Amino acid sequence: MGRLLISLVALLALSGCALVEGRKGFGPGEQDWGFVDVRKDAHMFYWLYYTTAKVSNYTQRPLAIWLQGGPGASSTGYGNFEELGPLQLDGSYRSWTWVKDMNVMFIDNPVGSGFSYVDSSSAYTTNNKQIALDLVELMKGFYKAHPEFKKVPLHIFCESYGGKMAPEFALELYYAIQRGEIESNLTSVALGDPWTSPIDSVMSWAPYLLQLGIVDQDGHDKIEASALKTKKYVDTGKWTQATLQWSSTQSVVLRESKGVDFYNVEKPTRGDQYLRNLFAMSHEERMYRTLVHYDIDENRDKMLEELMLTNVTEALNITTGVKWGAQSGTTFSKLMGDFMKPAVHIVSELLNNSTVKVGVFSGGLDLICATPGAVNWIAGMEWEDKQSYLNSSRLGINVNRVLEGYEKTAGNFSMFWVNRAGHMVPADNPAAMSHILRYFTKFG
């Protein structure tokens, strides 16, 4: 019997089948998922997709983590079904899914987002450091359940507000590794259309829209005036007021642009009708609706919510009694005093004090985290290879004879400009995203 088992294992390895001890979840391939108690009364949810690549063992491929923005948007919902998971929102297969090349884990964070939940209102996070430490605890629990991943290269990818959470998570994880508190092969962190320096993003809106012809000089001046009020609050450390003024600035943008889409300036919108509906809402509801929500298409929002609350909840047997949420307003509210604080110094510390590769990728059609804002905060950041970066050549990204963007690299830092993409680069330009994935993970 023992020889038969050994022969069977060898046969499976030769045939290219992955030896996986996952579960049947929702969608194709082997999966696993679970909750980790990251603190008292705080429970974080992860959903792991084992790679469907033809390998003898899934540990032959890296592990990519995806963190959504918000703060409070759900990775297991948005990132999974709208951007890079194996299934699209309508149930069809996504040909460019990351899962075909690597293991992918979606994490609902901060606690209170998606399937993650708290037992007490005091358990919500109120700053970026708490979020990062919770994610380190999540990884401790994950590695305890999946020790085979400890030596597998780990790559952290994110989007939007993830541009604040991911670098601090990577930094705290790196320090925990150095202290011997956790074993992990942390390799890289890549920030997609990041909210790393909020005020740089806000200050880029007026000139960006003017140059595209979306607003005229009068509209530019009104947006800039509101943005400068936001900056004044930032400069004086009045963080909650800065968040409220950021929201007001966004309203000015929507009014002056006649309803441009914040995630892709070329995306068709309902224009004035959309604005009438929007400004009929309360200020708080409008704040969440216009930025924190990832899609202003109500039909898609309803489709995603129905999918997560029915098919996914049933397939994963989620019995916590807490319903999945697309975007947690409470999570966002608890972080209002931290929302406009920058994390550029964290990126700098990561580059200067660790061996982790760091990158930024940005869609040229994104407004909310517009590329000029990212370029500006990178130009102001101090790190040991800065001069080499400034002196390095900017290269074209060519995929199948098509120019998909540009890249610039020095030392452990890289910047990627992505053509024909808005805020959601993995969905908007999968060819460029695959190039970026290959740069960091060697697969894609």
Read off the DSSP letter of residue 95.
T
Beta strands in 70-140 (DSSP E): 103-108, 117-118
The answer to whether residue 220 is catalytic is no
The answer to whether residue 146 is catalytic is no
Distance (Å, whole) CA 332 – CA 126: 9
Q: Is 40 exposed, middle or buried, given 0-12, 13-18 or 19+ CB atoms closer than 10 A?
A: exposed
Beta strands in 152-256 (DSSP E): 153-160, 185-194
Read off the DSSP letter of residue 292.
I
The distance of Cα 246 from the centroid of its chain, to the nearest Å, equals 21
Q: Which of 103, 100, 125 is nearest to 112 (CA)?
A: 125
Task: Round to the nearest angstrom and report the end-to-end CA distance of the chain.
Answer: 40
Token couple for 217: 């000089």
Q: Which of 60, 50, 54, 61 is nearest to 17 (CA)?
A: 54
Token couple for 156: 């952290």
* Residue 399 identity: V
Token couple for 165: 């959470």
Q: Which of 295, 423, 434, 435 is catalytic?
A: 423
Q: Let me know: does 439 contact 404? Beta carbons within 8 Å.
A: no
* Helix/strand/coil for 233: helix
* Helix/strand/coil for 401: coil
Distance (Å, whole) CA 180 – CA 106: 25
Q: Treating both helix axes as pointing N-terminal to C-terminal, what angle do 162-178 and 128-145 enclose, rounded to 10 degrees?
A: 60
Q: Which residues contact 325 (CB under 8 A, 6 or more apart)?
A: 72, 74, 113, 114
Q: Beta 402-410 vs 395-399: how paired, if at all? A: antiparallel
Distance (Å, whole) CA 260 – CA 368: 11
Q: Which of 160, 184, 247, 434 is catalytic?
A: 160
The answer to whether residue 423 is catalytic is yes
Q: Let me know: does 394 contact 330? Beta carbons within 8 Å.
A: no
Length of the chain: 444
* Residue 224 identity: E
Angle (nearest 5°) at CA 430 between 102 and 54: 30
* Residue 333 identity: S
Which residue numbers are catalytic? 160, 366, 423
